[in-house]
């Protein structure tokens, strides 16, 4: 998705803006641009393509000034062309602005503005905002932005500079994140923390409809009716180095290798001398999860944990479905929204719906200060550190871990889980990072497998119960980074249709973590083998001997408590996706058509 960066201070800003945009590259984009207040004029450089092209443009024709804004655009309205790239300007070029989000009523506003004589040069919804603000501007930008907000429908994070107010950088948000970084004698603006983290770790997170006016010496925040607000700054604990590759070929690889520490850090945060801390206040009769993509898959594992350990009803819901489905109020039920970024539009909307239905709500996120974090009273944090690769790996693993701890806490409170069993799981969790290291070291066979299978047309991942949830995540990971078509299936469901896709040599991976379901899943694997499939079984060492009798290939992970096996088994699946993407020459950290945080519906 699009990224925003802004600066006002005493330094030349072109390099600061370009550096910020480079740090936002991971979000996915197809054009980029900057606008700088140069002398008395706003000047723009923008182009389709990568930041490197924008850098070339800016170096050939540099901008000099101490206030500016920058943007990476992920095309929604209009092709990724030079003209559609942000910043956009009004007719006279007095104003330049960048925008994340979508203006839903842009067609109607465009017609209206065209009738007023505005000449549009791009196909974007964003250009409408520039002309609109210009038409409302009567010498007070704060007022013009406030009035423009009354016309705009949709979601936006906006940063605006204007020739008539050369000492102020304006920004406003509705449904799309914006963070203000506070330096000494200089202020920064960004859609994401990593863009400005090298400059400051003290951040203000804007709420919906708040307008911030950044000046060199400070920031003023106003609500929608113009009253001054005093939001408290957050101090970000991780530093810029945590959001850099640190010698690894890709962020995805680095983040996978960081998983043992991430699991250790998350465990330490929720345990102490007294054992497991309370995860959520009180106990619930039912707890559902709402999330998207990988976070939804973590929620499916969480629902399994809650049923197993706390004996309570639990289900995971896709947030974009949940927000439009008919719900029945359940006052004794809780809803936990799961999101790495804490900014996913569908997840935030689903949470609002659950709250409106009277359900108790809480959040699980990796991003302190995110919209999700700020919109609930209780947040469970994962301590994975910044996740930059579009493909979520360490955030998923720590989400699953935190949901396990949550289920243990609920089970302890309602008597379903004995203190002895709880202590046993905690002990094994303590030893898990070491076992994870062991799995992560064994990359060569996976690499060889990928080299030999990079031209497959289709792959299957099958499993039963919680293993089906793991199969879904394994398939999503492989699809998103390698673009290899694959299907995740409940093992027993395959013969009801999808088995027709199996041809000679089609790879089928069976995920087996549950002893009691091993024979059932192996029998489904046998069914595929009988139709020509090349079968692989992923299981703990104890199951290896039996698996070898059925599968062409067996990949094992160290034995562990069955509840912890999902955390180990997912590692070879992530590595499979990564090495397949490398073998196929994909842009691993920035897969096509994807964005790190999906802030539009």
Q: Rounded to the nearest whole angstrom, what is the least distance from the CB of residue 323 to ligand AGP in the complex?
A: 14
For the chain, first and last CA: distance in Å? 12
Most distant CA pair in the chain, distance: 79
What tokens does 145 get? 């932005």
Looking at the Cβ atoms of 120 and 238, the one nearer to ligand AGP is 238
Which residue's structure tokens are 């991942």?
461
Q: How far is the CB of 339 from ligand AGP (least distance, A)?
A: 3
Q: Alpha helix (H) ranges present in 325-364?
A: 345-356
Nearest distance in Å: CB 406, ligand AGP: 17
> What does the DSSP 8-state code read for residue 278?
P
Burial class (CB in 10 A: 0-12, 13-18, 19+), 504: exposed
Minimum distance from residue 306 beta carbon to ligand AGP (Å): 19
Active-site option among 435, 479, 590, 596: 596
Concatenated DSSP letters of 477-534: HHHHHH---EEEEEGGGGGGTGGGG--TT-EEEEE---HHHHHHHHHHHHHHHTTT-E
- If we measure between CA atoms, which residue out of 205, 481, 131 comes closest to residue 122? 131
Q: From the CB of 601, what's the least distance to ligand AGP, in Å?
A: 12
Which residue's CB is nearer to ligand AGP, number 340 or number 375?
340
Does 292 qualify as catalytic in the annotation?
no
Q: Pick between residue 287 and residue 348 the one whose CB is nearest to ligand AGP.
A: 348
Q: How far apart are CA 184 and CA 199, in angstroms?
A: 10
DSSP state of 244: S
Judged by CB, which is closer to ligand AGP: 293, or 507? Answer: 293
Q: Is 360 helix (H, G, I), strand (E, B) or coil?
A: strand
**596 included as an active-site residue:** yes
Dihedrals φ, ψ of 367, to 5°?
-120, 100
DSSP H helices, 121-258, are 126-136, 141-151, 251-257
Query: Exposure of 327 by Cβ count < 10 A (0-12 exposed, 13-18 middle, 19+ buried)?
Result: middle
Q: Closer CB to ligand AGP, residue 192 or residue 550?
A: 192
Please, what is the minimum distance in Å from the beta carbon of residue 370 to ligand AGP? 9
Provide the token pair at 105.
Answer: 């009523």
For the CB of residue 58, give the shortest distance to ligand AGP in the complex, in Å.
Answer: 30
- For 198, phi and psi rounded to 5 degrees? -65, -20
CA atoms of 49 and 30, how far apart (whole Å): 5
Q: By CB under 6 A, name the binding residues for ligand AGP.
A: 292-295, 339-341, 344, 347, 390-392, 480, 594, 597-598
* Of residues 94 and 574, the one with the C-beta less far from ligand AGP: 574
Q: What is the number of the residue whose Cβ is closest to ligand AGP?
A: 293
Nearer to ligand AGP, 168 or 339 (CB): 339
Residue closer to ligand AGP by CB (options 7, 396) is 396
Q: Minimum distance from CB of 481 to ligand AGP (Å)?
A: 8
Burial class (CB in 10 A: 0-12, 13-18, 19+), 39: exposed
Q: Which residues are catalytic?
A: 2, 596
């Amino acid at each position: 998705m699009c990224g925003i960066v802004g600066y006002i201070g005493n330094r030349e800003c072109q390099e600061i803006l370009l550096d910020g945009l480079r740090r936002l590259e991971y979000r996915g984009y197809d054009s980029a641009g900057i606008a700088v207040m140069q002398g008395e004029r706003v000047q723009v450089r923008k182009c389709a393509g990568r930041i490197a092209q924008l850098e070339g443009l800016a170096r050939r024709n540099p901008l000099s000034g101490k206030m500016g804004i920058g943007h990476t655009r992920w095309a929604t309205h209009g092709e990724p062309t030079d003209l559609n790239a942000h910043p956009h300007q009004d007719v006279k070029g007095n104003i330049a602005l960048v925008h994340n989000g979508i203006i839903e009523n842009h067609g109607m506003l465009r017609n209206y503005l065209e009738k007023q004589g505005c000449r549009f040069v791009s196909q974007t919804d964003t250009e409408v905002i520039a002309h609109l603000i210009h038409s409302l501007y009567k010498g007070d930008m704060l007022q013009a932005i406030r009035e423009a907000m009354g016309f705009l429908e949709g979601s936006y994070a906006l940063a605006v500079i204007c020739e008539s107010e050369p000492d102020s950088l304006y920004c406003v948000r509705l449904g799309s994140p914006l963070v203000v970084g506070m330096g000494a004698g200089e202020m920064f603006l960004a859609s994401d923390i990593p863009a400005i983290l090298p400059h400051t770790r003290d951040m203000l997170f804007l709420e919906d409809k708040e307008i911030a006016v950044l000046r060199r010496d400070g920031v003023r925040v106003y609500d929608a009716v113009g009253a001054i607000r005093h939001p408290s700054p957050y101090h970000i604990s991780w530093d810029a180095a945590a959001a850099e590759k640190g010698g690894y070929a890709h962020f995805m690889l680095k983040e996978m290798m960081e998983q043992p520490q991430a699991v250790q850090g998350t465990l330490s945060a929720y345990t102490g001398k007294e054992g497991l801390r309370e995860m959520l206040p009180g106990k619930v009769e039912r707890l559902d999860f709402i999330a998207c993509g990988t976070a939804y898959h973590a929620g499916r594992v969480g629902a399994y944990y809650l049923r197993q350990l706390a004996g309570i009803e639990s289900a995971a819901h896709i947030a974009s479905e949940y927000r439009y489905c008919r719900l029945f109020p359940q006052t004794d039920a809780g809803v936990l929204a799961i999101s790495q970024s804490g900014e996913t539009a569908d997840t935030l909307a689903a949470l609002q719906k659950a709250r409106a239905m009277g359900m108790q709500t809480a959040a699980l996120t990796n991003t302190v200060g995110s919209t999700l974090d700020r919109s609930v009273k209780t947040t469970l944090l994962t301590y994975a550190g910044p996740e930059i690769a579009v493909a979520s790996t360490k955030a998923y693993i720590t989400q699953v871990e935190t949901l396990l701890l949550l289920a243990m806490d609920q089970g302890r409170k309602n008597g379903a889980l004995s203190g002895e069993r709880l202590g046993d799981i905690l002990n094994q969790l303590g030893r898990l990072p070491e076992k994870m290291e062991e799995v992560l070291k064994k990359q060569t066979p996976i690499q060889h497998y990928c080299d030999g299978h990079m031209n497959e047309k289709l792959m299957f991942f099958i499993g039963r119960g919680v293993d089906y949830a793991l199969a879904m995540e394994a398939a999503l990971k492989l699809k998103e980074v390698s673009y290899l078509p694959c299907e995740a299936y409940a093992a027993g469901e395959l013969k009801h249709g999808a088995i027709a896709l199996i041809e000679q040599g089609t790879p089928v991976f069976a995920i087996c973590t549950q002893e009691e379901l091993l024979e059932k899943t192996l029998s489904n694997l046998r069914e595929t083998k009988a139709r020509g499939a090349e079968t692989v079984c992923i299981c703990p060492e104890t199951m290896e001997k039996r698996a070898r009798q059925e599968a062409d290939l067996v990949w094992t992970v160290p034995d562990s408590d069955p509840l912890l096996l999902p955390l180990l088994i997912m590692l070879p699946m992530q590595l499979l996706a990564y090495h397949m993407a490398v073998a196929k020459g994909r842009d691993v950290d920035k897969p096509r058509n994807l964005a790190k945080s999906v802030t539009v519906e």
